[in-house]
C-alpha cells in the first residue's frame, strides 16, 4: 500500500519536470515552468528561529527545523533528511537546501555591499549590488550544488577523517540567477593573452579561524562561456537567503560546492592560485596512506595535482529509505517494488546510465533515468537526475544487498570499494543498502532496509553497527571509568556548570572534564563552537565532528572526572 502511493507521487512529479523541460519547450515556456516549480516548492517548507541557534552569532537567521545538524549548534552545517529532499524532486526549496558554513553568517545589506574586482586587470572596480543586477545581462538556470564531503560518513566509519559526518544529502538543486563571470572580468579589463594573469581568486566576507574563506580557478576556466559561471544574486526567484550567501555568491556549475564562494567580497586576478588556508586545507583528495602528520611533514597539501575542482560521478539509493519495512506475505511477494534514487556527475557530463545489482556486482539491471534539465548550448548538464528500477518483492527477498552505480558521458563509473582519504572527500563507491528479514509479530514478517549511515551524530546505519562491534567492549569501558576516577580529581555537574565563559571554558566528553580555555583561540572550528557548548556534555557532537588528531589534542586539556550524584541530577 505504502509502496504504491509513494510511486504515484513520484510519477506525478517527474511528469511535470521531465515533460516541461524537454527539448521542444521554448525559453518563455521554460521560465514559466521553472517559476511554477519553485512556487510549488517553497510554500511547504517553513522557517523559524531555531532554539539551537540561541546564543550563537547566527540567532538572527530563520531556519528549517527539519535540517539535520552535523556540527552541533555552531557553525551551522546541515543536511535535509534525504526522504524529504527527494519528496520535492528536481528543485529543492531554499529552506531545505543543505548548508556548509565555516563560521558565522555575515549580516549583509544589499544597499551597502560591494564586490571588489582587483589584481592583474586594467580597470580595478568595486561593484554595488544594484550595479551587478542592473548593468550586466543576467543568466538564469538550474544547477545542483554538492559538497565534496557528500557521503563522507561512510569513510568515517572505516576511519575518522578530519571532516564531520555528511550523509548522502549534501546536495541540492536551485534555479540561480546572476551575472556571468566572464562579462565582469571583461568589463574590468582582464588581459587577454598574458602570462601574468593566470588565476582568478574568490574571497568571502567572514573572519574565520584560518582567515578568509577563499579559493581560485584558472583563467581559462573563468573565461570559458560554456561553463555558465555566474555571480549569483537570486535563488529560486528570490534574493539569496543568509545561509546561501546573501547578497551574492559564486555558482560554478559542475564543480564541488567548495569552489562556490558565498558572501563574495573580492575577486582577485593573480599569477598565483588562492592563498587561502581553505584552498589548501580543504577540497583535496590525498592518497590513502597520507594522514595529517605526513601531509604536514611532506607538504602534501600544496601538491597541485590533488586539488578537487569537478565533481565525480555518483549515485545514491533513496527508496527504500533507512529502516523502511516491506511487509512480506502471500500477496506482496508477487507485487512490484520501485527502487529509486539520485545521480550526478561533474564538468557538465551527463549521467548516461544507472545500474542496480542484487548479487554484489555479478549482474546489473539498467535503470530508467529522468534527466529533467535541458543541456546548455554547449551540451553541458549541471543538475542531478533521478533513477528508478522496478523489481519484484521476491527479488528483494532473495538478496542481502542492493547496490547502485552510475556512469557518465565520459564513461566514468563508481568504484566498488571506498577509497579513504584524510579529508574524507569525494566518496562515490557503490551505494549499498542491506536487507534484513525481520519478524513483526507472531505471523507477520518483513524486510527491513538499512542504509550505510545516518547523517551527523545519528546512529543506525549498517556501517556504524560494524564499527561499533570492533570498538572496545563495554566491560573495558566500565573498567577504564572506575580506574580513572581513582587517579583524577572529580567534579560535580554543578561545579562544571560554572565554567561556561571565555575566561573559563570546560567541557565534558565521555565523563571526563576538560578545560579548553587556552585552546579557544587555536580551535580550527572557531572559539564560538566551543563556547556555546561550554559547561555541558558534548560527547555525541564532539565524536561526530572530530578526528583522532583532535581526540589526542583534547587529552592535553583533561583536568578530571565527572561525578553524578543524586542531588546533582535534581538541580
- Show the binding pattern over residues 196-215: x = contacts ligand MTE (CB under 6 A), - = does not: --------x-x------x--
Closest residue by Cα to residue 243 from 229, 257, 256, 222: 257
Q: How far is the CB of 290 from ligand MTE (least distance, A)?
A: 20
Closest residue by Cα to residue 69 from 112, 39, 101: 101
Residues 362-421 that bind Mo ion (CB under 5 A): none
Of positions 106, 180, 257, 341, contacts Mo ion by CB under 5 A: 257
CA atoms within 13 A on the CB side of 164: 28
Q: Which is nearer to Mo ion, 201 or 367 (CB)?
A: 201
Cα separation, 539 vs 286, whole angstroms: 29
Closest residue by Cα to residue 22 from 373, 382, 369, 349: 373
| Contact criterion met (CB below 8 Å) for 516 and 507 | yes
Using CB under 6 A as the binding criterion, the count of chain residues that bind ligand HEM stands at: 28
Residues 134-163 that bind ligand HEM (CB under 6 A): 162-163
Q: Which is nearer to ligand HEM, 206 or 373 (CB)?
A: 206
Terminal C-alpha separation, the chain:
49
- Show the binding pattern over residues 140-179: x = contacts ligand MTE (CB under 6 A), - = does not: -----x-x--------------------------------
506, three cell numbers: 570546560
Contact between 214 and Mo ion by CB under 5 A: the answer reads no
* Three-class DSSP category at 353: strand
SS3 annotation, 463-517: HHHHHHHHCCCHHHHHHHHHHHHHHCCEEEHHHHCCCEECCEEEEEECCEEEECH
Contact between 205 and Mo ion by CB under 5 A: the answer reads no
Contact between 278 and ligand HEM by CB under 6 A: the answer reads no
Exposure string (b/e) for 362-386, b if CB count within 10 Å is 16 or more? eebeebebbbbbbebeeebbbbbbb
* Three-class DSSP category at 521: helix
Contact between 256 and ligand HEM by CB under 6 A: the answer reads no
324, three cell numbers: 523502511
Residue 120's binding partner among Mo ion, ligand MTE, ligand HEM, none (Cβ under 5 to 8 angstroms by kind) is none
Contact between 258 and Mo ion by CB under 5 A: the answer reads yes
Of positions 63, 69, 262, 340, contacts ligand MTE by CB under 6 A: 262
Contact between 549 and ligand HEM by CB under 6 A: the answer reads yes
Contact between 389 and ligand MTE by CB under 6 A: the answer reads no
Query: Taking each helix axis from N to C terminus, what angle separates 2-20 and 27-42, rounded to the nearest 10 degrees?
Result: 150
Residue 145's binding partner among Mo ion, ligand HEM, ligand MTE, none (Cβ under 5 to 8 angstroms by kind) is ligand MTE
Q: How far is the CB of 58 from ligand HEM (least distance, A)?
A: 13
Q: How far is the CB of 478 from ligand HEM (least distance, A)?
A: 24
CB atoms within 10 A of CB 503: 7
Q: How far is the CB of 569 from ligand HEM (least distance, A)?
A: 22
Of positions 69, 88, 97, 499, contacts ligand MTE by CB under 6 A: 97
Q: How far is the CB of 101 from ligand MTE (least distance, A)?
A: 5
Cα separation, 554 vs 139, whole angstroms: 49
* From 261-269, 460-468, 495-503, 553-561, span contacting ligand MTE (CB under 6 A): 261-269
Q: How far is the CB of 397 from Mo ion (least distance, A)?
A: 39
Contact between 259 and ligand HEM by CB under 6 A: the answer reads no
Q: How far is the CB of 252 from Mo ion (least distance, A)?
A: 12
Query: What is the distance of C-alpha 507 from the center of its chain?
Result: 27
Cα separation, 122 vs 4, whole angstroms: 62
Residue with cell 566514468: 412
Of positions 3, 96, 146, 147, contacts Mo ion by CB under 5 A: 147
135, three cell numbers: 548593468
Q: Which is nearer to Mo ion, 98 or 514 (CB)?
A: 98
Q: How far is the CB of 559 from ligand HEM (least distance, A)?
A: 11
Cα separation, 390 vs 269, whole angstroms: 51
Position with the least CB separation from Mo ion = 147
Q: What is the binding site for Mo ion (CB under 5 A)?
A: 100, 147, 257-258
Q: What is the binding site for ligand HEM (CB under 6 A)?
A: 71-72, 75, 102, 162-164, 507, 514, 516, 519, 523-525, 529-530, 533, 538, 541-542, 545-547, 549-550, 553-554, 557
Amino acid at each position: 500500500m505504502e509502496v504504491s502511493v509513494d510511486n504515484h507521487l513520484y510519477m506525478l512529479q517527474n511528469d511535470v519536470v521531465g515533460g516541461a523541460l524537454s527539448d521542444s519547450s521554448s525559453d518563455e515556456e521554460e521560465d514559466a515552468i521553472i517559476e511554477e516549480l519553485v512556487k510549488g516548492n517553497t510554500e511547504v517548507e517553513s522557517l523559524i528561529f531555531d532554539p539551537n541557534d540561541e546564543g550563537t552569532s547566527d540567532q538572527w537567521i530563520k531556519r528549517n527545523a527539519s535540517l539535520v545538524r552535523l556540527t552541533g549548534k555552531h557553525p551551522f552545517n546541515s543536511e535535509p533528511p534525504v526522504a524529504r529532499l527527494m519528496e520535492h524532486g528536481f528543485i529543492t526549496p531554499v529552506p531545505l537546501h543543505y548548508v556548509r558554513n565555516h563560521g558565522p553568517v555575515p549580516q549583509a545589506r544589499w544597499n551597502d555591499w560591494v564586490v571588489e574586482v582587483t589584481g592583474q586587470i586594467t580597470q580595478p572596480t568595486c561593484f554595488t549590488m544594484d550595479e551587478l543586477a542592473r548593468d550586466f545581462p543576467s543568466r538564469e538556470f538550474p544547477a545542483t550544488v554538492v559538497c565534496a564531503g557528500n557521503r563522507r560518513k561512510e569513510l568515517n566509519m572505516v576511519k575518522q577523517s578530519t571532516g564531520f559526518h555528511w550523509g548522502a544529502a549534501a546536495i541540492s538543486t536551485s534555479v540561480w540567477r546572476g551575472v556571468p563571470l566572464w562579462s565582469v572580468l571583461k568589463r574590468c579589463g582582464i588581459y587577454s593573452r598574458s602570462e601574468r594573469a593566470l588565476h582568478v581568486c574568490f574571497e568571502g566576507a567572514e573572519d574565520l579561524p584560518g582567515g578568509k574563506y577563499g579559493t581560485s580557478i584558472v583563467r581559462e576556466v573563468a573565461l570559458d562561456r560554456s561553463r555558465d559561471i555566474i555571480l549569483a544574486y537570486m535563488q529560486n526567484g528570490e534574493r539569496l537567503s543568509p545561509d546561501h550567501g546573501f547578497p551574492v555568491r559564486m555558482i560554478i556549475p559542475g564543480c564541488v560546492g567548495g569552489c562556490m564562494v558565498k558572501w563574495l567580497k573580492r575577486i582577485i586576478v593573480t599569477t598565483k592560485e588562492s592563498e587561502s588556508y581553505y584552498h589548501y586545507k580543504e577540497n583535496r583528495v590525498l592518497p590513502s596512506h597520507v594522514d595529517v602528520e605526513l601531509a604536514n611533514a611532506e607538504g602534501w597539501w600544496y601538491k597541485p595535482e590533488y586539488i578537487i575542482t569537478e565533481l565525480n560521478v555518483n549515485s545514491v539509493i533513496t527508496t527504500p529509505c533507512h529502516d523502511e519495512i516491506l511487509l512480506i506475505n502471500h500477496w506482496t511477494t508477487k507485487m512490484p517494488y520501485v527502487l529509486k534514487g539520485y545521480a550526478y556527475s561533474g564538468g557538465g557530463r551527463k549521467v548516461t546510465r544507472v545500474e542496480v545489482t542484487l548479487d554484489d556486482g555479478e549482474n546489473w539491471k539498467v535503470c530508467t533515468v529522468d534527466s529533467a534539465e535541458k543541456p546548455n548550448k554547449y551540451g553541458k548538464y549541471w543538475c542531478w537526475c533521478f533513477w528508478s528500477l522496478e523489481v519484484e518483492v521476491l527479488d528483494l527477498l532473495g538478496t542481502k544487498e542492493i547496490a547502485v552505480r552510475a556512469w557518465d558521458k565520459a564513461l566514468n563509473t563508481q568504484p566498488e570499494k571506498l577509497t579513504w582519504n584524510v579529508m574524507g572527500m569525494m566518496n562515490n563507491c557503490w551505494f549499498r543498502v542491506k536487507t534484513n528479514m525481520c519478524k513483526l509479530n507472531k505471523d507477520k514478517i518483513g524486510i527491513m532496509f538499512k542504509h550505510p549511515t545516518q547523517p551527523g551524530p545519528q546512529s543506525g546505519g549498517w556501517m556504524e553497527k560494524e564499527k561499533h562491534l570492533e570498538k572496545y567492549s563495554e566491560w573495558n569501558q566500565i573498567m577504564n571509568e572506575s580506574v580513572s576516577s581513582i587517579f583524577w580529581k572529580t567534579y560535580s555537574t554543578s561545579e562544571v556548570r560554572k565554567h561556561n565563559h571565555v575566561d573559563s571554558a570546560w567541557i565534558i566528553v565521555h565523563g571526563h572534564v576538560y578545560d579548553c580555555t587556552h585552546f579557544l583561540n587555536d580551535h580550527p572550528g572557531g572559539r564560538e563552537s566551543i563556547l556555546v557548548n561550554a559547561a555541558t556534555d558534548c560527547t555525541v557532537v564532539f565524536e561526530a565532528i572530530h578526528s583522532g588528531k583532535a581526540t589526542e589534542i583534547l587529552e592535553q586539556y583533561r583536568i578530571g572526572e565527572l561525578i553524578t550524584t543524586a542531588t546533582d541530577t535534581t538541580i
